[in-house]
Amino acid sequence: MMKPRSVAIIGASRDPAKVGNVILQNYIGAGYEGKLYPVNPNADEILGRKAYKTVLEIKDTIDLAVIAIPAPLVPKVLEQCGKAKVRSAVVVSGGFAEVGETELQEKITEIAKKYKIAMIGPNCLGVMDTRSKVDTLFLPMKKISRPKVGYVSFVSQSGAVGSTVLDVIAGEGFGLSKFVSYGNAAYLDETDILEYLMNDEETKVIVVYLEGIKRGKEFVELARKITKVKPVVVLKAGRTEAGTAAAHSHTAALAGNYAVQEAIFKQFGFTVASDLSELIYYAKIFASEVKPKGNRVAVITNGGGAGVVAADEIASSRYLKMAELSAGTKKSLRKVMPALVNMTDPLDLAGDADSRRYGDALNALGADPNIDMLMVIVLYQTPGADPAVTHEIVQKKITLNKPLLVVSVGTEYTHKQTRLLEDKNVPVYDSPISAVDALEALFEYAEYKSRH
């Protein structure tokens, strides 16, 4: 499904407004190098490619069938896929258990089992692999950006949440490995998908949006193992009675008891997000890959007030504490810093700080054994904070063996600089509060791994 040599798009259409047309366009636009087979009984050619009446007419082994047709027609087509020995299927069509059509969903599940077709869906966006350029999403590229190649994989039961987070990931600039939207989970479910990603060498961080857990016992057994291998960030919807009802009507998910599920997540080292913003914050810090050796944080800033807010947040956190600069660090800093800079944490470089001052500070604090993590606050509105500061931070991030993140708030000029940082794997946060939350999550997971 993720690395297919051949894809049949069943329901491919000549109409640009149709889902099947968008999916075929996305494959072509992404530069997919495998074989593409549009299937439509009423067309001979679609987007310059020969069309087939049914999948049975194709004289090639089909690794993946993407099914985008009305729900009542899916069983017949899936049966044809089975007879054609299609290996996997993504059913993007809605109109199954989420609207009360449970018998129809059970029917396609039995067909998938009968022919051993690995099936995602129905009622989903399907899958995307940035390396193989598989893209079953029926979302036009002009409306939603595709993320660059990376090592974060994102699993979402909801297509809407999935598409939103994908767009944000692309905008934030950190890379994606794989995306799976699995909808009603009629056959393959969240446990199957997470087990696959646990063993996937192209995935280093797993991010999950869940509405329900289908097989509780199997999920718990997987949870015991997965975070020993790589970090997992989870946002669990359906935490209240209203949310549970909404989840059931959305993807026919049985949301279950959230308190029990949260306890399982925390017991086995999952990082639990409370909203989509936290999901992104945590994913970014884990994607930066450097693990902390302790909980001592040093803050570098060109704005005194911002440094005070950061100090308050660190001092109030569950796990982190402000670092104490070593005597050697203070001595080396005193040689290169102007007299108005105090040798304390936070290290306030003053409002006229330039790239040289930031570079000197990063060199000294990066080498200090008393410091485990660095928070760099850059107010790009000041005269000295220019692209040279951005370049200096990027270069120091490459050589540092400590987690480093940037806090920066602003509009157009700031956004341009922070995008450059994100593109070079430097995580950027819009407040000291979100930055501290991210560093806490990173430290907490490092502690979990050290105990297991």
- CATH 3.40.50.1100, applies to 1-123: no
pTM score: 0.91
Question: Strand 428-429 and strand 373-377: pairing?
Answer: unpaired
> Could you report the per-residue pLDDT of 187-238, keeping only the tens digit for each?
999 999 999 999 999 999 999 999 989 999 999 999 999 999 999 999 998 6
C-alpha 186/C-alpha 120 separation (Å) is: 7
CATH H-level superfamily of 144-287: Succinyl-CoA synthetase domains (3.40.50.261)
pLDDT band at 257 (very low <50, low <70, confident <90, very high): confident
pLDDT digits (tens, 9 = 90+) for 27-64: 999 999 999 999 999 999 999 999 999 999 999 999 99
Q: Where are the domains of the chain?
A: 1-123, 144-287, 291-451
Annotation: CATH topology of 291-451: Rossmann fold (3.40.50)
Contact 159, 144 (CB under 8 A): no
298 pLDDT tier (thresholds 50, 70, 90): very high
Distance in angstroms (rounded) separating the CA atoms of residues 32 and 372: 43
pLDDT value for 246: 52
Common-topology check for domains 1-123 and 144-287: yes
Nearest-CA neighbor of 207 among 149, 133, 285, 263? 285
Closest to 209 in 3D by CA, of 157, 261, 253, 164? 157
CA–CA separation, 48 vs 226, rounded Å?
44
pLDDT level of residue 241 (50, 70, 90 thresholds): low
- Reply yes or no on whether the pLDDT at 289 is more than 90: no
Mean pLDDT of 311-317: 96
Q: Would you state the structure tokens that stand for residue 151, as one six-digit string? A: 């090592």
Position 105 pLDDT exceeds 80: yes
pLDDT band at 433 (very low <50, low <70, confident <90, very high): very high
Query: Predicted confidence band at 260 (pLDDT cuts at 50, 70, 90)?
Result: confident
In degrees, to the nearest 5, what angle opens at C-alpha 236 toward C-alphas 193 and 445? Answer: 80
- Mean predicted confidence (pLDDT) in 264-268: 93
Residue 250 has pLDDT above 70, yes or no: no
CA 107 distance to own-chain centroid: 33
What's phi and psi for 79, nearest 5 deg?
A: -60, -40
Peptide bond into 122 cis (omega under 30): yes
Which pLDDT value is given to residue 248?
Answer: 46
Q: What is the pLDDT of residues 122-153, one digit of tens each?
A: 999 999 999 999 999 988 887 888 899 999 99
